[in-house]
C-alpha cells in the first residue's frame, strides 16, 4: 500500500528532524522508546508470527550488547563494524540455540529459552573478557544524537523486516506453522528451517538494539543487560499492541512507554501500578491487541464485554 | 500419460509403537490416475499407514517409492515437495487465517514444480481452487477459517490439498460427518480431481462412496493387509464382511 509507505516515510522525516526541537529529556525518552519498540518488533517475529513464545530475547539483546562492547573496547574496532558484528553474533547464537530448542513447543519452549538467557548471563559473569560481575565500561559519547539516529535506523529496519514477513511467502509459512505445525509440514513448509530463520532474525534485531544500548548507556552489567524484565516488557508491548501484526508492537510500545515514563516522572510506584492495570485491562478486554480493536472498531463497551466472554479461559 | 505406469509403491511397510504393531508388512502399488480405496475397521492402521507414507512418522521397516524414488527417511515437507499430498481425518485448518489464505499456503508451498510461488499467483490459484471445491462464496471473506462449519472445513481441507498440485493425494475420511447429499457432491468432486490427473488413495467408511469411486480396494485388519481387489469382489469377500462389517451386516444382506 503506497499510503503506508508515504505515512511511514513522513513519520521518519519528522522524527529525523525532531531532535533540533526537543528537550534533552524528550530525546532520551525517544531513544528509549525506539529501543523498546525494536525489542517488541523483534519478539513479534518469533512470538507473534511464528507462535513460539520466546523468553530468551533478553539473551540475544545481551549477546549483541557484549559483542559490540568488547569489539569496541578490547578489539578497537570502529563502532559501525562492532555493532554489525554484535547483530551478526546474536543472530548466529539464536540460530544455534534455535536448532535445539525450537523442537520444543508451548511452555517447554518458553522455559528452555528462559534457561538459555540465565545460562548466558552466568557465563558472562564468569568470563574475563566481559569484565565479569564488575561490568564493562564503554567510551563516552557526549551527544545523544548519534544514538537517536542509530536506534531510529534499527527500528526502521525492524519494522521493514516485519512488513516483509507479513506479505511474503516466508511469512505465510511462519503463520501456518503458528496455526498448525503438522499441517504446515504436510503442505510442504520446511518447518525446522523456517522457525530457525525466524528465531535468528528475531535474535539479530534484539542484538542490534543491545549493541546501540551498550554504547548509549556506556556501561554493561550482566545482571542489568540479561535481566528477564527485558523479555517480559517486549512480550507485553507486542501482545498489548497486537502480536503477529506489523504495527501492533510499535503502537503497544509507544502507549506503554508513554504511560510508564510519563508517570515515573511523578511517582515510580504509581507508574508500576498503572502499567500493570493497563496490561490486565487489555488482556481481558482486547485479547487480540489494541491494533485489532482499533482496526475493527471493537472499542465500544458492548464489544469489549463480548471479548471478555469470548476469550475467557 | 501412460495409463498403466506405476506411480507409487509401498513395500513391506511396518510401524511399531513399542510392543504394538500398528502397521504390519503392508505392500501395494498405485498406477497413475487410479483411485484406490483403503478400508478397515477403526484401529486397523489406516491413518498410521498414511502418516508413515507422508513422513509424519518414521518407518519401522519397509519403504515406499514415488516414480522410483525412495521416500523412507524424508521429512514431510520433502515428500510433499515430490508431489504427495494428504488431508487430515481430524481437520487442521489454520484457524486465524482467512479461508483464502489457508488455500494460498498450498500454492505457495506444496509440490516443488507446482508453480504459484509468489503471493499474487497463489491468491489467484486459491480463488480457483475454492470455487472448484464449492467454497467460492468465501473467496473474499475476511473471516477466519475458524468460523466455517464442519462440511465446509472438510472442503477446505480438500481445497488446501488440491492447491498443492499433488500427483498423489491421500484423503483421510473427508466424508465423515457429511449427509447423503454432501457425500454425493464429494464423490463428484473427487472424480473431477482424478480427471484432472491426480492419483488418489481414499480412506473411507462410507461404502457407497467406496463402490462408486474406487478402481481397487485394499482392506487393512489389525495393521495387516487382509485382501485387495475390485470393490464389489472385496466387499463381498467373507473374511472382509466378518472382519470389518460384522456378522449382522452379512446376515442383513442375505435376508
Q: Which residues of B touch A169 (CB under 8 A)?
A: 108-109, 117-119, 122
A186 at B interface, C-beta within 8 A: yes
Q: Which residues of B touch A175 (CB under 8 A)?
A: 94, 96-97, 101
Residue B253's pLDDT is 58
Radius of gyration for chain A, computed over Cα atoms and rounded to the nearest angstrom: 19
Cα within 13 Å of Cα(A89), Cβ side: 21
Q: In this predicted structure, which of A189-193, B44-48, B110-114, B217-221 has the lowest mean pLDDT? A: B110-114
Query: Which of A141, A140, A145, A142 is CA-nearest to residue A21?
Result: A145
Which of A1, A180, A185, A187 has the most B C-beta neighbours within 10 Å, making it the best mutation to test the interface with B? A187
At residue B254, does pLDDT exceed 60?
no
> Nearest Cβ partner of B88 from A172, A179, A183?
A183
| Predicted structure pTM score | 0.91
Would the CB atoms of B94 and A191 count as touching at under 8 Å? Answer: no
**Number of neighbours of residue B25 by Cβ within 10 angstroms:** 14
Would the CB atoms of B119 and A167 count as touching at under 8 Å? Answer: yes
Residue B3's pLDDT is 53
Give every residue of chain A whose pLDDT is below 70, as ranges: 1, 298-299, 310-313
- B66: enclosing H helix or E strand: strand B61-66
Averaged confidence pLDDT in chain B:
90
Count the residues in chain A. Answer: 313
Strand pairing category for B35-39 and B216-221? parallel
Residue A65's pLDDT is 97
The pLDDT of B161-176, averaged and rounded, is 94
Q: How far apart are CA B183 and CA A139, in angstroms?
A: 74
Top pLDDT among B76 and A24 is at B76
Q: How far apart are CA B161 and CA B189, in angstroms?
A: 13
For the stretch A85-129, pLDDT in tens is 999 999 999 999 999 999 998 899 999 999 999 999 999 999 988
Would the CB atoms of B118 and A173 count as touching at under 8 Å? Answer: no
Q: How far apart are CA B31 and CA B200, in angstroms?
A: 10
Residue A181, min C-alpha distance to chain B (Å):
9
Would the CB atoms of A187 and B160 count as touching at under 8 Å? Answer: yes
Top pLDDT among A12 and B219 is at B219
Distance of CA A167 to the CA centre of its chain: 20
Q: How far apart are CA B206 and CA B242, in angstroms?
A: 17
State the ipTM, two decimals: 0.91
Q: Which residues of A touch B77 (CB under 8 A)?
A: 185-191
Would the CB atoms of B109 and A175 count as touching at under 8 Å? Answer: no
| Alpha-carbon torsion (B193, B199, B205, B211), positive or negative | positive
DSSP 8-state code for residue B98: B
User: What's the pLDDT band for B131 if we cut at 50, 70, 90?
Assistant: very high
Top pLDDT among B75 and A21 is at B75
Residue B255, min C-alpha distance to chain A (Å):
45
For the stretch B20-72, pLDDT in tens is 999 999 999 999 999 999 999 888 999 999 999 999 999 999 999 999 999 99
Residue A173, min C-alpha distance to chain B (Å):
7
> Nearest Cβ partner of A189 from B77, B111, B118?
B77
Would the CB atoms of A180 and B109 count as touching at under 8 Å? Answer: no
Residue A10, min C-alpha distance to chain B (Å):
28
Would the CB atoms of B56 and A186 count as touching at under 8 Å? Answer: yes
Beta-carbon pairs below 8 A across chains A and B: 82
Three cell numbers, residue A6: 508515504
Residue A147's pLDDT is 94
For B158, which residue in chain A has the nearest alpha carbon?
A187
* A272-A275-A276-A277 Cα dihedral, nearest 10 degrees: 120
A265 at B interface, C-beta within 8 A: no
Whole-number percent of chain B with pLDDT over 90: 73
Residue B2's pLDDT is 47
Which of B55, B57, B71, B76 has the most A C-beta neighbours within 10 Å, making it the best mutation to test the interface with A? B76
For A178, which residue in chain B has the nearest alpha carbon?
B94
A229 at B interface, C-beta within 8 A: no
Query: Which of B12, B44, B55 is CA-nearest to residue B240?
Result: B44
Would the CB atoms of A172 and B119 count as touching at under 8 Å? Answer: yes
Q: Chain A window 147-176: which residues touch B at a Cβ cutoff of 8 Å?
A: 167-169, 172-173, 175-176
Amino acid at each position: 500500500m503506497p499510503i503506508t509507505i508515504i505515512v511511514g516515510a513522513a513519520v521518519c522525516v519528522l522524527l529525523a528532524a525532531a531532535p533540533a526541537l526537543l528537550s534533552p529529556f524528550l530525546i532520551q525518552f525517544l531513544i528509549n522508546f525506539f529501543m523498546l519498540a525494536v525489542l517488541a518488533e523483534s519478539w513479534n517475529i518469533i512470538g507473534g508470527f511464528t507462535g513460539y513464545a520466546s523468553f530468551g530475547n533478553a539473551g540475544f539483546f545481551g549477546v549483541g550488547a557484549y559483542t559490540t562492547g568488547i569489539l569496541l573496547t578490547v578489539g578497537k574496532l570502529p563502532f559501525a563494524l562492532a555493532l554489525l558484528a554484535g547483530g551478526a553474533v546474536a543472530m548466529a547464537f539464536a540460530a544455534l540455540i534455535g536448532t535445539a530448542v525450537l523442537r520444543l513447543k508451548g511452555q517447554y519452549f518458553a522455559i528452555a529459552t528462559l534457561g538459555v538467557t540465565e545460562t548466558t548471563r552466568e557465563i558472562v559473569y564468569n568470563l574475563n573478557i566481559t569484565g565479569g560481575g564488575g561490568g564493562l565500561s564503554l567510551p563516552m559519547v557526549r551527544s545523544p544524537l548519534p544514538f537517536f539516529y542509530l536506534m531510529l535506523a534499527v527500528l526502521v529496519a525492524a519494522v521493514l523486516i516485519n512488513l516483509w514477513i507479513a506479505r511474503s511467502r516466508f511469512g505465510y509459512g511462519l503463520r501456518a506453522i503458528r496455526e498448525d505445525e503438522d499441517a504446515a509440514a504436510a503442505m510442504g513448509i520446511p518447518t525446522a528451517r523456517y522457525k530457525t530463520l525466524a528465531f535468528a532474525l528475531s535474535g539479530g534485531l534484539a542484538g542490534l538494539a543491545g549493541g546501540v544500548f551498550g554504547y548509549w548507556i556506556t556501561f554493561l552489567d550482566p545482571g542489568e543487560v540479561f535481566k528477564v524484565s527485558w523479555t517480559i516488557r517486549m512480550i507485553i508491548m507486542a501482545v498489548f499492541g497486537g502480536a503477529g501484526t506489523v504495527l501492533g508492537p510499535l503502537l503497544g510500545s509507544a502507549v506503554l512507554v508513554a504511560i510508564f515514563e510519563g508517570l515515573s516522572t511523578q511517582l515510580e510506584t504509581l507508574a508500576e501500578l498503572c502499567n500493570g492495570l493497563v496490561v490486565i485491562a487489555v488482556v481481558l478486554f482486547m485479547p487480540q491487541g489494541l491494533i485489532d480493536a482499533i482496526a475493527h472498531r471493537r472499542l465500544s463497551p458492548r464489544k469489549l464485554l463480548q471479548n471478555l466472554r469470548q476469550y475467557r479461559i | 500419460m501412460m495409463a498403466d505406469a506405476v506411480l507409487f509403491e509401498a513395500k513391506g511397510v511396518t510401524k511399531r509403537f513399542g510392543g504394538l504393531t500398528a502397521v504390519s508388512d503392508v505392500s501395494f502399488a498405485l498406477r497413475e490416475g487410479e483411485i484406490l480405496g483403503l478400508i478397515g475397521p477403526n484401529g486397523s492402521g489406516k491413518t498410521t499407514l498414511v502418516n508413515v507414507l507422508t513422513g509424519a512418522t518414521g518407518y519401522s521397516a519397509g519403504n515406499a517409492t514415488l516414480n522410483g524414488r525412495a521416500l523412507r527417511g524424508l521429512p514431510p515437507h520433502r515428500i510433499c515437495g515430490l508431489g504427495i499430498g494428504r488431508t487430515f481425518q481430524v481437520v487442521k485448518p489454520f484457524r486465524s487465517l482467512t479461508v483464502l489464505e489457508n488455500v494460498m499456503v498450498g500454492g505457495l508451498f506444496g509440490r516443488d514444480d507446482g508453480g504459484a510461488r509468489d503471493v499474487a499467483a497463489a491468491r489467484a490459484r486459491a480463488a480457483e481452487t475454492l470455487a472448484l471445491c464449492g467454497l467460492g462464496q468465501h473467496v473474499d471473506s475476511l473471516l477466519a477459517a475458524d468460523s466455517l462449519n464442519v462440511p465446509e472445513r472438510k472442503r477446505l481441507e480438500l481445497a488446501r490439498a488440491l492447491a498443492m498440485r499433488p500427483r498423489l493425494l491421500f484423503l483421510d475420511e473427508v466424508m465423515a460427518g457429511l449427509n447423503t447429499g454432501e457425500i454425493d457432491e464429494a464423490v463428484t468432486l473427487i472424480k473431477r480431481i482424478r480427471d484432472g490427473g491426480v492419483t488418489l488413495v481414499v480412506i473411507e467408511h462410507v461404502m457407497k462412496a467406496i463402490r462408486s469411486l474406487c478402481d481397487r480396494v485394499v482392506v487393512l485388519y489389525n495393521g495387516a493387509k487382509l485382501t485387495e481387489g475390485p470393490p464389489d469382489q472385496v466387499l463381498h469377500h467373507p473374511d472382509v464382511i466378518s472382519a470389518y462389517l460384522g456378522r449382522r451386516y452379512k446376515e442383513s444382506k442375505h435376508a
